[in-house]
Amino acid sequence: MRVALLLVVVAAAAAVAAAPAGATNECRGLQVCVPISGPWVLADARSEVRYQLACPKRFVVGGLDAELSVRGIAISFLGALGAPVNPGVTTSTAAVFLGRVVRTGVAGASFRPHVGCIPASGGGQRTPTAYRAFPPSKPALPEMTEIPVRSGTHRYVRSCKAGERLVGATHAIAFYTDTPPTRALASSISATQSVRSGRLHLVVRASPAAAEVKSVVQVDLSCVAAA
């Protein structure tokens, strides 16, 4: 049984606009910390977007933060059940950020996730709280791949590993730029997905303007062991 606890890390409607470079707090209070910045991820009000940001090898997520291009983007992340709420217990080697626009009249909104990575020291052990009950296990991180965006229309197929089956899939469009993408740049790329026969089918469309900057579509597959 896999259980995930949604922990809010950045306020929603009252969230402030993007902070200047160097003003994020993912390493605040951590003596040893490696800050990792992600790309600008597009968000809208129609659905929640997910983006996974990983630490280097032998590090776990010890802190999180995000920059917003506009007010009114709700940001949270997926964490595991356990006590105490701590790096290595609540978090693992990567963090899955969840973003959604919660205000009307917002177009071209984006957020940039940040994680503060600390040396891995192992997580806490969970114990059943009732007789013959089973403790929740750590939620498995989605299987993530990033597809570089190219001009034109391109189709991709992704599937789970052998012995696993697909139970869910998401995608996110992101830009590796210093500042949030303009509305014109944000609208230069679109992606649609469908799941058929246990595989994700993704269609990415990009105008020539999209090729002028480094942009990607991140695909996250939620896979479970086949019965």
Query: Residue 61: beta bridge partners?
Result: 117
pLDDT at 135: 55
- Strand pairing partners for 147? 217
Of all helices (H) and strands (E), which one includes residue 183? Answer: helix 183-186
Q: Contact, 165 vs 226, CB < 8 A?
A: yes
Kindly report the average pLDDT of the chain as a whole number.
83
Instruction: Provide the residue ranges of all domains of the chain, joining segments of one domain with +.
Output: 5-119, 143-225
**Token pair in block for residue 83:** 């006590």
Give the least confident one: 55-59, 104-108, 142-146, 178-182. Answer: 104-108
**Beta pairing, strands 40-42 & 164-175:** antiparallel
Q: Is the dihedral of CA 83, 62, 59, 67 positive or negative?
A: positive
Confidence of residue 4 (pLDDT cuts 50, 70, 90): very low
Q: What would the pLDDT profile of 105-143 be if each residue is shown by its tens digit?
A: 777 899 999 999 999 874 444 434 444 555 555 556 788
DSSP-derived 3-state class of residue 56: coil
Q: Round to whole Å and give the CA distance between 147 and 206.
A: 13
What is the Cα gyration radius of the chain? 18
Tallying the residues shown for the chain, one arrives at 227
Bridge-partner residues for 51, per DSSP?
Answer: 97
pLDDT digits (tens, 9 = 90+) for 20-56: 445 799 999 999 999 999 999 999 888 899 999 999 9
φ, ψ at 45 (rounded to 5°)? -90, -10
Share of the chain above pLDDT 90, in %: 61
Residue 118 CA to its chain's centroid (Å) = 19
**CA distances (Å), origin 149, targets 11, 42, 120, 193:** 31, 14, 33, 15
